[in-house]
Chains A and B, each alone.
Chain A
Amino acid sequence: MTKEEKSGDLIEKESEHRGDGLHHAPGTFTLTLILLVSFVVYYFANWKALADVWHVR
C-alpha cells in the first residue's frame, strides 16, 4: 500500500478490482497443503480410534 493509497480508497475501489487472475502465492499454497496433510492424518487417526472401540464382526 503506497502512502498515497489509503486503505479506505482500497476498499472503495475494491469492487472494480476483479482480481489479478493469475496470482502468485506459493507460500499460501504450501500452507494449504500442510493443512490438508494435517487434516488427513487427524481424520484417519479418528477413524482408527473408532474402529478400535467399535468392532464390526
Chain B
Amino acid sequence: MTTLDPTVEGALPETEAAGRGNHPPGTFRVCATTGLTVDLAAEKFIKINAVFAVVFLLLGGIAALLLALTRWSAVHLLNAEWYYRMTTFHGLNMLILWILFMEIGILYFAATALLKSRLASVKAGWAGFACMAVGAIMLDAVILAGKADVMMTSYVPLRAHPTFYLAIILVAVGTLIGVINFLATVYIAKRDKTYSGSVPLVVFGAITAAIIAVSTLLHGAGIMIPTFLWSIDVIDHVDPAAYRLVWWGLGHQSQQVNVAAMVSVWYLLGTLTVGAKVLNQGVSRTAFLLYILFINLASAHHLLVDPGVSAGWKIWNTSYAMYLAVLASMIHGYTVPAAVEVALRKQGHTKGLFGWLGAAPWKNPGFSGFFLSLLIFGFIGGITGVTLGTEQINIIAHNTLRIPGHFHATVVGGTSLAFMALAYYVVPLIFRREFPLRWMCRAQPYVFAAGIVLMSLGMSFAGSYGVSRRSWDVEASGALHPVSYDPSVHVWLGVLGIGGSLAFVGLLMFVVPTVLAVFFGKRVEAKMPAW
C-alpha cells in the first residue's frame, strides 16, 4: 500500500493525486494491490464495524454450538430456560448484529473506495456506530440477564424487559444513520463527479441493499416503538396479528438486505479473485431492481398459516410476487458464475465443460468461500426456499425444522460465508495486516461449508418428519396429546448436531486467524501477498 501523505515514504506523485475523486489532500491512500482509493476516515469505520461484527459472530456462534448440542437429542445439553435464552441470543447476534455491522462496513467501502469519494459525514459515522454499539451491548446484556426469553421474533403477547425493545430501536436508528451516511456519500460522489457513467454494479447492489434497509428499518420502527410503549405500560395492547404482519416487514426484509449485500460481495470477489467482468450490466441491474420491488411482498410467506390475512392475499404475494424476487436471485445465480467462467476461459482454461472450474483458485479462501456460498445459497437455500414458500406446500412444513434448514443455507451458508470470504481481502487491504495460519484460512471455507450443509440437511430431514422448529423437547413429553416421530428423526438430529459442531469449528478457524491478523499480524507494506 502507498499513501498520498507526502510525509510518508512511498508517497504517490502529485499528478496521480490530482485524479483522486473529491478527497482533500492527506485524507486518503491508494491501495497498491487493487488501485482503489481508500478514504482514511471511512477506513476507520470499516475497521471498527468489522471488529464488532466478528465479536458478535463469535458470541452468536458459541450460542449456536450450545443449541446444536441441545437439538441433538442424544446430547440435549441445555435446560429449557437456557435453550430459549440461547435461541434468542443466537438469532439476534447472528441475524442482526454480525450482519448489520458487517453491512455498514461494506456500504462505507462501496461508497468511498469504489466511487473515489470522501465519506459524507464523519460525525454521522460516529453517531450511527455509537447507537449500534450501545444498542447491541444492551441487547446482549438484557438477554443474558434472563429478562428477554422471547426468541428473536418476540411475538406479542410474549413480553420482554423494555430494555430489549429499546436496544433493538437503538441498533435500528444507528443502522439508519449509517445507511443515510452511505446514501449521502453516493450523492456527493455524483455531485463532485468522482466517477464517470453509471455507478459500478457492486455499488448499485449496495444501493439496493440500502434502499431495502430503509424500508426494513421503517417497519422495525413501526412495530418496535409501540411494543416498547406496551412494555412500559404506556399503551395497553398490541394486536398479535398486526405485530406479525409488520414485524416480518422487518424480519424478512432484513434478510433481503443480506441477500443484496451478499450478491454485491459475489460480484466484488469475482473481480478480486479471478478478474471476472459483469456479463451484462442491464440484466444484473434489473435483477437488483426486482429485489427492491418484490422482496417485501415475499415476506408474506411467514404468514401463510395466519388466520388474519386472506387466501387471495397469501397466494398473490407468495405465488406471484415472490417469484419475481426469486427470478432476481436466479439471474445473479447465473451471471456471477458465468462471469467467472468467461474470465477463466479467457485465461486459457478451456478444457471441457468444467475445466475452468477445476482450474479456479480453490486454495484462495476468498474464491472458495465465495463460490461455495453461491452453490449452497442456490442449491440448498434457493430450492428449499421456493418450495417452502409455495402456499399449499407450506402447510406440511410451516414451523417445522425444515424452515431453519432452509434459512441456515441462505443466511449462514450464503451470506455469512460470503462475508467471511470478503474478510480474507478486507484484512490485508483495509487493516493492512497479513493473515497468519494461512493453511487454516485455506481450509476454513470447506470446513464451515461442510458443517452448514450437514446441519441444514439434518434440520430439513428431521423437519420433514414433523419435528418442530423451536421446541426444546422434541418428544413433547407431558403433552396432553402424545407426540411420536419416526425413530429416524434422531439420526437426522444427530446429523444436525454434528454439522453444527463442525460449522462451529469452521467459525473458529475464521475468527482465530482474523483476530491474530488484525491485532498481531505482520504489516502489509506494499502489495497484498497473493492467496
A contact set with B: CB distance below 8 Å:
1, 5-12, 14-20, 23-32, 35, 38-39, 42-43, 46-47, 49-50, 53-54
Which residues of the partner chain B approach A35 to less than 8 Å between Cβ atoms? 333, 378-379, 382-383
Given contacts A8-B37, A28-B334, A49-B396, 14 further A-B contacts (CB under 8 A): A5-B275, A7-B272, A10-B275, A10-B277, A19-B280, A28-B338, A32-B334, A35-B333, A35-B378, A42-B384, A47-B392, A47-B393, A50-B393, A54-B396
Can you show 9 pairs from A to B with CB atoms below 8 A apart? A1-B271, A1-B343, A7-B34, A20-B279, A25-B337, A30-B354, A42-B384, A47-B392, A54-B396
Do the beta carbons of A19 and B281 come within 8 Å of each other?
yes
* Minimum Cβ distance to chain A for residue B235 (Å): 41
The chain B residue sitting closest to A26, CB to CB, is B353
Do the beta carbons of B35 and A46 come within 8 Å of each other?
no
Q: Pick from B35, B195, B387, B395: contact of A54, CB below 8 A.
A: B395
Do the beta carbons of A7 and B386 come within 8 Å of each other?
no
Q: Pick from A15, A28, A38: contact of B199, CB below 8 A.
A: A15
Which residues of the partner chain A approach B202 to less than 8 Å between Cβ atoms? 11
Do the beta carbons of B342 and A24 come within 8 Å of each other?
yes
Which residues of the partner chain A approach B279 to less than 8 Å between Cβ atoms? 19-20, 23
Do the beta carbons of A17 and B277 come within 8 Å of each other?
yes
Given contacts A8-B36, A10-B277, A23-B279, contact A15 B198 (CB under 8 A): yes
Considering the chains assembled together, what is the distance between the CA atoms of A27 and B342 in angstroms? 10
Binary flags per residue of B327-344, CB closer than 8 Å to A gives 1, else 0: 000000110011001110
Do the beta carbons of B383 and A39 come within 8 Å of each other?
yes
Do the beta carbons of B386 and A1 come within 8 Å of each other?
no
Do the beta carbons of B386 and A39 come within 8 Å of each other?
yes
Majority-rule SS of B interface residues: helix
Which residues of the partner chain B approach A23 to less than 8 Å between Cβ atoms? 279, 338, 342
B356 is an interface residue with CB less than 8 A from chain A: yes
Do the beta carbons of A14 and B201 come within 8 Å of each other?
yes
B197 is an interface residue with CB less than 8 A from chain A: yes
Which residues of the partner chain B approach A29 to less than 8 Å between Cβ atoms? 338
Which residues of the partner chain B approach A7 to less than 8 Å between Cβ atoms? 34-36, 271-272, 275
Do the beta carbons of A14 and B278 come within 8 Å of each other?
yes
Considering the chains assembled together, what is the distance between the CA atoms of A12 and B19 in angstroms? 13
Binary flags per residue of B369-406, CB closer than 8 Å to A gives 1, else 0: 00000000011001110110010110111000000000
Do the beta carbons of B396 and A24 come within 8 Å of each other?
no
* Minimum Cβ distance to chain A for residue B7 (Å): 24
Do the beta carbons of B272 and A27 come within 8 Å of each other?
no
The 7 closest A-B pairs by CB, nearest first: A1-B275, A8-B35, A6-B35, A8-B36, A25-B338, A19-B280, A15-B197
B114 is an interface residue with CB less than 8 A from chain A: yes
Which residues of the partner chain B approach A30 to less than 8 Å between Cβ atoms? 353-354
Do the beta carbons of B337 and A31 come within 8 Å of each other?
yes
Q: Pick from A10, A14, A28: contact of B341, CB below 8 A.
A: A28
Considering the chains assembled together, what is the distance between the CA atoms of A47 and B527 in angstroms? 55
Which residues of the partner chain B approach A18 to less than 8 Å between Cβ atoms? 280-281
Do the beta carbons of A46 and B396 come within 8 Å of each other?
yes
From 115 to 137 in chain B, residues with beta carbon under 8 angstroms from any chain A beta carbon are: none
